[in-house]
Amino acid sequence: MLIIPAIDIIDGKCVRLTKGDYDTKKIYHENPVDAAKEFEAGGITHLHLVDLDGAKKSEVVNWKVLESIATQTNLHIDFSGGIKTKQAAQQAFDLGAAQITVGSLAAKNPKEFVDWIWEFGEEKLILGADVINDKIAIHGWQESSTKDIYSYLDYYFEEGIDYVLCTDVSKDGMLEGPSFELYSNILEEYEELKLIASGGVSSIDDLQKLKEMGCYAAIVGKAIYEGRITLKELSSFL
The model's pLDDT over 10-20, given as tens digits with 9 standing for 90+, comes to: 999 999 888 77
- Predicted local distance difference test score (pLDDT) of residue 120: 97
- Predicted local distance difference test score (pLDDT) of residue 104: 86
Domains annotated for the chain, with CATH where assigned, are 2-237 (3.20.20.70)
- Predicted local distance difference test score (pLDDT) of residue 145: 56
- Higher pLDDT among residues 127 and 17, named by residue: 127
235 — pLDDT class (breaks 50, 70, 90)? confident
- Predicted local distance difference test score (pLDDT) of residue 84: 94
Active-site annotation holds for 51: no
**Pairing mode of beta strands 135-138, 125-132:** antiparallel
Backbone phi, then psi, for 6, in 5-degree steps?
-110, 135
- Predicted local distance difference test score (pLDDT) of residue 216: 98
Catalytic-role residue among 8, 51, 53, 168: 8
- Predicted local distance difference test score (pLDDT) of residue 224: 94
142-191: pLDDT as tens digits: 555 568 899 999 999 999 999 999 998 888 767 788 999 999 999 999 99
201 and 170 Cβ atoms separated by less than 8 Å = no
Q: Does residue 139 register a pLDDT over 70?
A: no
- Predicted local distance difference test score (pLDDT) of residue 142: 54
Neighbouring CB atoms inside 10 A of 174's CB total 15
Q: Which residues of 110-143 are buried (b: 16+ CB within 10 A; e: fewer)?
A: eeebbebbeebebebbbbbbbbbeebbbbbbbee
115 — pLDDT class (breaks 50, 70, 90)? very high
149 and 135 Cβ atoms separated by less than 8 Å = yes
207 and 233 Cβ atoms separated by less than 8 Å = no
Distance between CA atoms of 201 and 203, rounded to whole angstroms? 6
Region for residue 27 given its phi and psi (left: phi exceeds 0; alpha: psi -120 to 50; beta: otherwise): beta
Active-site annotation holds for 53: no
Instruction: Give the DSSP letter string of 123-151.
Output: GGEEEEEEEETTEEEETTTTEEEEEEHHH
- Distance, C-alpha 213 to centroid of its chain: 19
- Predicted local distance difference test score (pLDDT) of residue 67: 98
31-90: pLDDT as tens digits: 999 999 999 999 999 999 999 999 889 999 999 999 999 999 999 999 999 999 999 999
- Predicted local distance difference test score (pLDDT) of residue 143: 52
Beta bridge partner(s), residue 15: 8, 27
54 and 34 Cβ atoms separated by less than 8 Å = no
Catalytic-role residue among 53, 130, 172, 206: 130
Among 71, 72, 94, which Cα is nearest to 83's? 94
- Predicted local distance difference test score (pLDDT) of residue 236: 87
